[in-house]
A and B are shown apart, each in its own frame.
Chain A
Amino acid sequence: MTEYAIELKNLIVEYPGFRLYVPDFAIPKGFVMGLVGKNGAGKSTLIRSMLEIIPRSKGDIKILDMDFLHHDLEIKNKIGYVNDTFVFPMESTPEQMGYQIGQFYDLFDESLYRELLRKYNLKSHEKFKHFSKGMCAKFSILFALAHHADVLILDEPTANLDPVSRREVLDLLYELMQDEGKTILFSTHITSDLDQIADYVTLIDKGKIQFTLSKDELQERHQIVTIQGKIPEEMKNCLKGIKTIPDGFTALCTEAQQFSNTDSISFRKASIEDIMVYWDIQNV
């Protein structure tokens, strides 16, 4: 019985001008994995190839210890996928979608579905064209939950939402995570969401995973360092995004736990956004 909800090995996806290469990637069951990266870094490519929505050149994919070759339907019954596009027809209602599409799932739970709609104030007989963006995003996620999905894969689900709606989505996810059988993969630019809920964070850039770390490893190791004077020799290899400031330098230190506050060096907490930004700065 594997401890991982998703396991990838040697995944390669190739487009003209872009190549995604993931030698090894795994998401532990029962936790939230945040996926961050710039536009074009490969987040959606990773997710879509992982779900066989797009083809790959090679790679082994296991979801809940099953592979698509032998367990295609079983996997699809156990996962929920939501991206930033609303996929349901605007003239339809939640009631209709529940009836029409719910049938494709073994475990579509009508009473759970109605309960979720009620709990999040979505009218089952209202057409989607009358829903706000926030309501649409919530509906997409709820629909993915109604068939008792154990793995929820969200590709920028809060992209077009206002802060209030985003907070509601986050609350929904916190509620979901009370069940330790549920796993979430959450890809987003809105890193403040991940600062809160993510247990693990993966940074992807130029088609490669730069790191996967647990939240506290991330925070212990990655800190913004301010250096007065010259950069200490032993630090040179673990600094990213070095910026010159009056009297010294500032940078992201990726092994902050090895150094301590001294007179000429001070550290402060780095948010996920800081990490993304500093990682991206090109140094000469």
Chain B
Amino acid sequence: MKFHLDAASEVPNYLQLEHQIKTACLHGKLKPGDQLPSIRALAKELSIAIITVKRAYDDLEKEKVIELRQGKGAFVREVKKTKLKHEAANQMEQELTVLLSHAQALGISKQEIKSILLKKLAEFKEEQDND
């Protein structure tokens, strides 16, 4: 299971990691009972601070996506797909807000935004159909 963090992104590292883990759960790449790498091993692999991974794991534990077992490690929990989807939608909304405010600042009109969005959705749908 390979995670990839985008240093240039405005989204903090710990959030990116949380999103990727949730996405992996949603797509079945991570199944209930699967073990995640230890906090320290993952920090080393991604070359980020231990505390960043710890924050992500702690948040995910609070959200009941994973379970931290003392002395054993982090394990994926049974999560309702609908709950994860709901969260993914929230996350998307957050990222869209950032994108839209940038677009506005650059002077892109609502019409233009809408047409770009529809164009992308059409491409996206094609990809999904091809899966």
Contacts and interface: CB of A to CB of B under 8 A. Distances in A.
A199 B97 CA distance: 29
Interface in A232-270: 261-263, 266-269
Most buried by B among A31, A263, A267, A269: A269
Dominant secondary structure at the B interface: helix
B33 interface: no
A214 B51 contact: yes
Contacts of B13: 216, 219
Contact of A215 (B44, B52, B98, B104): B52
B13 to A, nearest CB: 8
Contacts of B102: 266
Interface string A161-187: 000000000100011011010000000
Interface in A186-219: 196-200, 214-216, 219
**What is the interface residue range for chain A against chain B?**
20 to 34
A151 interface: no
Nearest to B56: A216
Interface string B26-68: 0000000000000011011001111110010000000000000
A196 B44 contact: no
A95 interface: no
Given A31-B51, A199-B51, A216-B52, A269 B43 contact: no
Interface residues of B, number: 21
Contacts of A261: 97-98, 101
B43 A174 contact: yes
Given A216-B14, A216-B55, A180 B40 contact: yes
Contact of B43 (A177, A214, A266): A177
Given A174-B43, A178-B44, A220-B12, A263 B49 contact: no
A216 B44 contact: no
A262 B97 CA distance: 10
B51 A200 contact: yes
Interface in A31-55: 31-32
A267 B101 CA distance: 11
B129 interface: no
B44 A174 contact: yes
B131 interface: no
A262 to B, nearest CB: 8
A215 B53 CA distance: 11
Nearest to A30: B50
Interface of A: 30-32, 170, 174-175, 177-178, 180, 196-200, 214-216, 219-220, 261-263, 266-269
26 contacts: A31-B50, A32-B50, A170-B47, A174-B44, A174-B47, A175-B44, A177-B40, A177-B43, A178-B40, A178-B41, A199-B49, A199-B51, A199-B52, A216-B51, A216-B55, A219-B12, A219-B13, A261-B98, A261-B101, A263-B101, A266-B101, A266-B102, A266-B105, A267-B10, A268-B10, A269-B10
